[in-house]
Amino acid sequence: MSLINEFQEKMPGEVLVKFKDMLYKEAEETKKQALSTIKLSIEVYKDGEKELALVVLKESMRIAKSYLELMDKLDADKDTAISIITAIEEIEELMNQNEKVSYIYDIYNELQ
C-alpha cells in the first residue's frame, strides 16, 4: 500500500493534494541530485580519479534508491528511477573495466 493510499482516508482532500505535491517536488529534486552526482562521478573518472569516481557513484546509487522509494510512496511510475539505478550499475561496471569516458557518457546521456 502506498503512503498516499494509506493517508487518503485520514486526510482531508486539500491536505492530501498539498502532501502529494510536496512529495512530488521532493522526488523531482532527488532525481536531479541523482543525475548530477552521476555526472560528477563521470567528470571525476575523466580526471583519472577512478576510486573517487566510484565513491561518488555509490552516493548516486543511494540517492537513486531514495528517488525510487519516493515514487513508490506516491504509487507513481517507477520506470525512470529504475532506469537511473540500472544506468548507475552499468556505469560502475564500465568504470571498473577502465572503459573510455565516451562510452560512459553515452549511458548518462540516455537518461537525459
Structural domains of the chain, with CATH: 12-111 (1.20.120)
DSSP assigned state of 11: S
Q: How far is CA 46 from the centre of its chain?
A: 21
Whether residue 5 has pLDDT greater than 70: no
One-letter amino acid at 5 equals N
Residue 108 CB-density burial (10 A; 0-12 exposed, 13-18 middle, 19+ buried): middle
Grid cell in block for residue 104? 560512459
Q: What is the CA radius of gyration of the chain?
A: 17
pLDDT tens track for 83-110: 999 999 999 999 999 999 999 999 999 9
Among residues 56, 19, 15, the alpha carbon closest in space to that of 36 is found at: 56
Q: Which residue reads 482531508 in cell numbers?
A: 12
- pLDDT tens per residue, range 44-64: 999 999 999 999 999 999 999
